[in-house]
Structure 1
Amino acid sequence: MNHVGTSHDAAGAVHALVRAVLGSELPLRIRCWDGSEAGPPDAAARLVVRRRRALRRLLWAPNELGLARAFVSGDIDVESDFFETLAQLERIIGGQELAVDKMVKRDMVKAGLRLRAFGLPPKPPAEEIRLGGRLHTRRRDSQAISHHYDVGNDFYALVLGPSMTYSCAVWDDKAETLEDAQTAKVDLVCRKLGLHEGMRVLDVGCGWGTFVIHAAREYGAHAVGVTLSQAQADFARKRVAEAGLSDLVEIRVQDYREVGDGPYDAISSIGMAEHVGEAMLPTYARALYDLLRPGGRLLNHAISRKVGVGAHTGGDTFINRYVFPDGELEPVGVMVNAIEQAGFEIRDVEALREHYALTLRAWVANLEANWNDAVRLTSEGRARVWRLYMAACALTFEKGAIGINQVLGVKTAASGASGMPRTRTALLS
């Protein structure tokens, strides 16, 4: 059966339910489990509601978390351009304040009864997590990192490509591929840090080792990378050995608060500070300051939020429950202030927002092109989590709701000498 929905079939009732909430027509085409359809026939976005259970998920959590649970579990699916469909769904469940009066509530109840959508809340998908204990203890931080990064190195290889770099790439004029753009990013960090042969550099949150390998191979630096993920460390050590750089690179499973073998000449933190949390930023910045010699530089590369928008990713959000437990995004001013309060002199800030949107779209393309292998290596639910989160983040960067910045600080000597070049052109040369 394939017809335009009426109030007597599933799609028609869903249409009535959404219309009651939105106060407007459905912005996408919906096909339900009984074959009925509703919404504009020529809509660019097409959503499939495969099971009635999806509606119970949304009734119990009428926000992004309910929608995410329905998608991750396979209760709903997308049969059109994924980015376009997410953009339309955001219009329906976008966190806006809805004026739900008595008439709207009545229509919602009627639609819910016709759909037999009322009942106990379904069990969340297995991929959902809720951590316990005090926030940002070393034990809890380790659990949060493990949840996200210990999904499987082979899975990440499918998504990230050969560079195995899980942070914003830099799409300069020479970058034709994701691999080119990731190489451009790590080289940009090396140049901002002023790396040269014989220097000691610490990479906090080293991931799979891409930056430390580049710093050692291209600049002759002695590099130490620390991560809380055992899977990442194992993979990074293997890459280091295969590159013949074991005499220059050391990989540790270690919290940044436990590093005690300073001083270092330079420190990079690429995509790690989002896990620290605002309350711990002073501790984080001071720990890195204390590990540097006078004249040493810190490059902090982190996602930021606008002032007054979404203070934390915690709570009942898709990101907190499925992707980055306990992650927090801070305005760039908060990050700069924490670094400066620790004693650093801020010398350069660069925004890369559009670059991250391009990077995320490239990761989504990799995942979609290797979908069957991704499901085999993890689970269909986990692959769905990554597709949803990366696509949604790409859209969020594109509309400017969040940004990403590289902040360069220097630990000036007691005399005030910084050792920094006088111009930004010289810094980047």
Structure 2
Amino acid sequence: MGGAALRLNSLFEQLLGTPLPVRIRAWDGSQAGPPDAPALVVRNRRAVRRLLWKPGELGLARAWVAGDLDVEGDLYTALDLMAGLVWERGENAKSLTETLRDPDARAAVRGLVKLTGLPLPPAPPAEEVRRTHHLHTRRTDRRAISHHYDVGNDFYETVLGPSMVYSCAYWPDPDATLADAQRDKLELVCRKLALTPGQRLLDVGCGWGSMALHAAREHGVDVVGITLSQEQAAYARKRVAEEGLADRVEIRVQDYRDVTDGPFDAISSIGMAEHVGAERYLDYARNLHRLLVPGGRLLNHQIARRPHGDESAYHVDEFIDAYVFPDGELEPVGSTVTQLERAGFEVRDVESIREHYALTLRHWVANLEADWRHAVSLAGAGRARVWRLYMAASALAFERNRIGVNQVLAVRTPQSGTSGLPLRARTWN
């Protein structure tokens, strides 16, 4: 006890106006704080400098990715305890400027500077990508997708397992295997789309080809899968060839805006629309509507954020934007439904599967932690740390209902008004 940790604990409590819910273990080996709580390991003074120069989520993320901060004990428990300080401060939280009007807070900052020094701000970790604003042009989307997905197929195999599906699984029960739950998700999508042999399916954001392969193999459809990732496309094409489905599945490196060889009988978009951007979403929906035959179905599987009281005040998550999904944007599910209908779709079903994503993410984190050294050798320590934090924090966000995920089934209903759905449509359950 005592030493730098006691001083840090006291100064942070003074600055934040509340006791820290976790222990602190400082660079000199000292510890302070609740003895039974996980420890926030402050490996060096640079970690505190990062927080002083960039208070809040981004400063914490930079320190974590650089290895200046770590957690000793259960990561989920630590993140859960810190959520109130970092992610859930609410609309009435004080800004840094307002906080520093308090004499005690100013004194705490002076104490932290005295303890750690305050030279020029530490350089951000190499894994950070910064955007000035969200353009969502073909060029910027291609670059953002490459940042996230071209990390290395071997790394993703370590995290995702043999299914190579990077979206929410569909769990029959919590004790099922990840592979079975991902298979059930792909089958659920196929049933919602009512795929039959000989139909054409467009899989937008096809990833490593799992949906395309499942639909062709199990439902006899011809599939065009598109992605902006060169590494994903190469991996998917190899899988297609190995399964002898090259005559049924075509994988392209192509932007959804550039697909011209419609019409398709069905379109699946699984975990892709988060990359589209709010300003481009109506164009996205109109493009997919244009590519469908009358009566054709779209299954849009997409993460959603909770709506805020003042939508104009919404800001993109700094950590996610800088390290995980550059230019990614989450919108409320109501906004998604509205835009799809504005584009001409008739939305027929919306299913929330929020809890399923929490389970999926916990399995991915377990995969990463179980083969940590191998993952670091493949992607580097910084990148592996990004994925561990991002997936663990996201699991908690789904569990605490801060974000959700929904499957929206929409139809390009013809002028006759015949949707093609049965009177009791949820036969897929």
Which category describes the TM-score, using the shorter chain as reference length?
over 0.9
SS of residue paired to 2:116: coil
1:133 is displaced (CA, Å) by: 7.9
1:25 is displaced (CA, Å) by: 2.0
Equivalent residue number for residue 34 of structure 1 = 28
| C-alpha contact 2:23 2:32 (8 A) present in aligned 1 | yes
SS of residue paired to 2:357: helix
For residues 93 and 181 of structure 1, do their structure 2 counterparts lie closer, same or farther at Cα, with a shift above 3 Å needed?
A: same
The one-letter code of the counterpart of 1:55 is: V
1:78 is displaced (CA, Å) by: 1.1
1:311 is displaced (CA, Å) by: 7.3
The one-letter code of the counterpart of 2:341 is: E
1:325 is displaced (CA, Å) by: 0.6
SS of residue paired to 2:284: helix
Please give the residue correspondences for 1:374-389 in structure 2 after superposition, counting only pairs within 5 Å. Answer: 374-389=375-390
Equivalent residue number for residue 399 of structure 2 = 398
The one-letter code of the counterpart of 2:84 is: R
Which digits, 9 at most, give the CA deviation of each residue in 1:169-191, with x for residues without a partner? 00024971000000000000000
Equivalent residue number for residue 342 of structure 1 = 343
The one-letter code of the counterpart of 1:70 is: A
For residues 409 and 134 of structure 1, do their structure 2 counterparts lie closer, same or farther at Cα, with a shift above 3 Å needed?
A: closer
For residues 60 and 171 of structure 1, do their structure 2 counterparts lie closer, same or farther at Cα, with a shift above 3 Å needed?
A: same
Equivalent residue number for residue 261 of structure 1 = 261
> Identity over aligned residues, as a percent?
61
Counterparts of 2:184 and 2:313, CA distance in 1: 30
Normalised to the residue count of structure 1, the TM-score between the two structures is: 0.95
Please give the residue correspondences for 1:218-229 in structure 2 after superposition, counting only pairs within 5 Å. Answer: 218-229=218-229
Please give the residue correspondences for 1:235-314 in structure 2 after superposition, counting only pairs within 5 Å. Answer: 235-308=235-308
Normalised to the residue count of structure 2, the TM-score between the two structures is: 0.95
For residues 289 and 389 of structure 1, do their structure 2 counterparts lie closer, same or farther at Cα, with a shift above 3 Å needed?
A: same
Which digits, 9 at most, give the CA deviation of each residue in 1:61-116, with x for residues without a partner? 11010001001000011110011111222233336324634332343134214413
| C-alpha contact 1:311 1:328 (8 A) present in aligned 2 | no
| C-alpha contact 1:314 1:325 (8 A) present in aligned 2 | no
Which digits, 9 at most, give the CA deviation of each residue in 1:353-411, with x for residues without a partner? 00000000000000000100000001000000000000010010100011000000111
Equivalent residue number for residue 210 of structure 2 = 210
For residues 271 and 134 of structure 1, do their structure 2 counterparts lie closer, same or farther at Cα, with a shift above 3 Å needed?
A: closer
1:134 is displaced (CA, Å) by: 6.5
Equivalent residue number for residue 14 of structure 2 = 20
Counterparts of 1:338 and 1:420, CA distance in 2: 21
1:59 aligns with 2:60: no
Please give the residue correspondences for 1:166-177 in structure 2 after superposition, counting only pairs within 5 Å. Answer: 166-173=166-173, 176-177=176-177
Equivalent residue number for residue 94 of structure 1 = 87
1:30 is displaced (CA, Å) by: 1.0
Equivalent residue number for residue 4 of structure 2 = 10
Which digits, 9 at most, give the CA deviation of each residue in 1:307-328, with x for residues without a partner? 1178799657000000001111
| C-alpha contact 2:134 2:277 (8 A) present in aligned 1 | no
Which runs of 5 or more structure 1 residues have no equivalent in the other structure? Answer: none
Moved over 3 A (4+): 131-134, 309-316
Equivalent residue number for residue 120 of structure 1 = 120
For residues 202 and 173 of structure 1, do their structure 2 counterparts lie closer, same or farther at Cα, with a shift above 3 Å needed?
A: same
| C-alpha contact 1:311 1:330 (8 A) present in aligned 2 | no
The one-letter code of the counterpart of 1:49 is: V
Which runs of 5 or more structure 2 residues have no equivalent in the other structure? Answer: none
Task: Work out the number of aligned pairs and report it.
Answer: 421
Which digits, 9 at most, give the CA deviation of each residue in 1:19-76, with x for residues without a partner? 1122222211111111111101222x11211110000000011101000100100001
For residues 424 and 149 of structure 1, do their structure 2 counterparts lie closer, same or farther at Cα, with a shift above 3 Å needed?
A: same
| C-alpha contact 1:152 1:378 (8 A) present in aligned 2 | yes
SS of residue paired to 1:252: strand
The one-letter code of the counterpart of 1:24 is: T
